[in-house]
Amino acid sequence: MTLNDFEKDFPQAILQRGKRYYISGAVQSIEKIAVNTYQADVHGSDLYEVTVELDAAKHVTNISCDCPYGMGAYCKHEAAVLYLLREQIDSFQNTTPKSTNLLQLLEKCSHAQLVEIIQEHARSDKTFADYLRMQLSANADAGSVVSNFKRIVKSYFRGRSFLADVLKAGELLVEKTEQFSSAVKKIHVYAEVIDMLEMSIENQEDSYDFNDEDSWELFHTIEACSSCMEDAVAVVMQGKNENEITTVWNLLLSHWNGDFQIDGEERFFPSLLQFCVFPEYREKLDALLGSRGAVATAHEKEKMDSQRLLIIQKYGTEAEEQAYLLAHLDNPNFRRRAIELAMQKKRYTEAEQLTLDGISASDSSWWKVMEWCEKLHDIYQISGETQKLESVCCTLVKNGKTAYYAEWKSLLPVETQVDMIEQVLRECSDRAYEYIISCENRSDLLYQFCCKYPQKIFVYYEKLKGTPFQEQTEDLYEQWIRDEGEIVSSRSEYAELCDRLKKFSVDCGAERAAVIAKDFRFLYHRKPAFMNELTKAGF
């Protein structure tokens, strides 16, 4: 591609994002580092380095970016740099490559010069100024750290700064907050920041003109704050100061009640869970979950039921867990756990009934029924109930779960195997049918199957070779290749078909393959790509 018309080589979506980066000034710098080689820094979710190499005619001979994007040949950062380079290329024509080290230049500056440089940059870049205030604020000044971070976040969502600025400021916020001596103060900061970030993301998601998928990377900051908040709560709990415990409980509860649950996670529950070490707080939290669940959607209620179970598992008894599970078997996850506990206690009859009830209670979806059948298989295998195991294996095989075929066959009496396999073949899915006739080397049925699905001949030719169906199979093989010749339409399809023709030459003879190739050249001579692939394949 050339610098003048590179757009035609980029996917439209990538090009649009790259142009948006270019217009917004995301390309922080660009310089000539060698003859016809340019290097640029681009602000994205991080600071990325793009390198572009041109030839004398301004053809792009090489372009690279160190971002993690791997969904295509080019990324939006590269597009942004090409837009800017095209605009500025003439200014580089008579310049020599830069090799001056910035650190060397700064070391030559006086203190007053450095202060002036920093002030000048801070006046033109409000985000940098806010970050600088965060960096230089006193360790005890929580208000200053949070307020400056909020301004950086607000600036990003207004399109005035970059995601990398927010992520870097988030790292600094955690670093500064962790220096506070008071665990309660840390919890205040983290709770406020989590709320603010989640609210900002939720508001932007509701905005029709917001189209920055990178914003979800802010959850790295949210998760870091949530993890540090849990650690700070643990410190408070270990201190056993009743006033601090009450203060933190009320603080977390006020934020938890308004938690936004974006992406299905609650950031405050893990911290609240620690309070359940005290029976009175366990009762309070369980009651709150129950009351919230009473007015929640089905999905939300399922989640809250899981949180109530987590409290019991962490701070209750096994008997409490068992009773809770049995009272909420409409939740498939709880039924699975109840079955698991019954099996651990070797109560196989109870585990079987719970699983059979699960099959009855599930909707008509195939995968749910199969899941419970696989659970029955595990129960019968452990309990040694061979007859039931054979029956459930048979059901699984009929429904396409071919991994159970060898086990099912091994459970059958030798004298009934042939009849039982025939019966299953009459009743099973297409997938199971194909698997079984291949395993059993049923050449008669395999040939019929290939007649029904000609593309399968390429898979099963070896199994049919040397059988009474070899001649018919070779004819079917040839006809399938000829039929494919009529429908292939792209270079990759031509190449694939020619590879199969080479395989046919090995399987059925070079003379026969040469006749097919000759016919292809006559019929499709106006398809030069096809002719080229035939030549490359040796035909």
Note the pLDDT tens digit of each residue in 499-525: 999 999 999 999 999 999 999 999 998
Please count the other Cβ atoms lying within 10 Å of the Cβ belonging to residue 380. 22
Residue 92 confidence class, pLDDT cut points 50, 70, 90:
confident
Sheet containing strand 47-54, strands side by side: 27-34, 37-43, 47-54, 60-65
Q: What percent of the chain clears pLDDT 70, i.e. is strictly above it?
A: 94
Strand partners, 50: 40, 65
Provide the CB-side half-sphere exposure for 267 (13 A, CA).
30
Residue 100 confidence class, pLDDT cut points 50, 70, 90:
low
When pLDDT is averaged across residues 402-416 and rounded to a whole number, the result is 95
Q: What is the pLDDT of residues 256-278, one digit of tens each?
A: 876 555 555 678 999 999 999 99
Q: What is the pLDDT of residues 133-172, one digit of tens each?
A: 998 877 667 888 899 999 999 998 888 888 888 999 999 9
pLDDT value of position 154: 92
The Cα angle at residue 90 between residues 84 and 92, in degrees rounded to 5: 85
Q: In terms of Cα–Cα distance, which of 486, 485, 499 is closest to 539?
A: 499
Tell me the two tokens of residue 9: 């080589």
pLDDT value of position 208: 47
**Distance, CA of 175 to CA of 168 (rounded, Å):** 11
Q: What percent of the chain clears pLDDT 90, i.e. is strictly above it?
A: 67
Average confidence score pLDDT of the chain: 90
Who contacts 48 (Cβ-Cβ below 8 Å, separation ≥6)? 41, 42, 65, 66, 67, 77
**Distance, CA of 25 to CA of 192 (rounded, Å):** 31
When pLDDT is averaged across residues 339-359 and rounded to a whole number, the result is 95
* In contact, 359 and 372? CB cutoff 8 Å: yes
pLDDT value of position 98: 63
Provide the CB-side half-sphere exposure for 280 (13 A, CA).
4
Tell me the two tokens of residue 392: 């459930």
pLDDT value of position 84: 93
Buried b (16+ CB within 10 A) or exposed e, 302-321: bbbbebbbebbeebbeeeeb
Domain boundaries of the chain, sorted by first residue = 6-97, 124-277, 469-536
Who contacts 449 (Cβ-Cβ below 8 Å, separation ≥6)? 433, 434, 437, 456, 460
Tell me the two tokens of residue 465: 């070779």
* pTM, two decimal places: 0.66
Strand partners, 48: 42
* In contact, 186 and 180? CB cutoff 8 Å: yes
**Residue 36 scores a pLDDT above 90:** no
**Residue 337 scores a pLDDT above 80:** yes
Q: Over 392-451, what HEC string results?
A: HHHHHHHCCCHHHHHHHHHHCCHHHHHHHHHHHHHHCCHHHHHHHHHHCCCHHHHHHHHH
Query: Is 62 exposed, middle or buried (CB count within 10 Å of its CB: 0-12, 13-18, 19+)?
Result: exposed
Residue 196 confidence class, pLDDT cut points 50, 70, 90:
very high
pLDDT value of position 139: 67
Who contacts 20 (Cβ-Cβ below 8 Å, separation ≥6)? 76
* In contact, 44 and 67? CB cutoff 8 Å: yes
* In contact, 81 and 52? CB cutoff 8 Å: yes
DSSP state letter for 29: E
pLDDT value of position 259: 57
**Residue 191 scores a pLDDT above 80:** yes
Q: What is the pLDDT of residues 208-251, one digit of tens each?
A: 444 456 677 888 999 999 999 999 999 999 999 999 999 999 99
pLDDT value of position 99: 54
- Give the chain's radius of gyration (CA, Å): 34
pLDDT value of position 391: 96
* In contact, 352 and 376? CB cutoff 8 Å: yes
Tell me the two tokens of residue 70: 């791997």
Please name the residue that has the structure tokens 């498939």. Answer: 332
The Cα angle at residue 498 between residues 497 and 503, in degrees rounded to 5: 95
Q: What is the pLDDT of residues 384-399, one digit of tens each?
A: 999 999 999 999 999 9
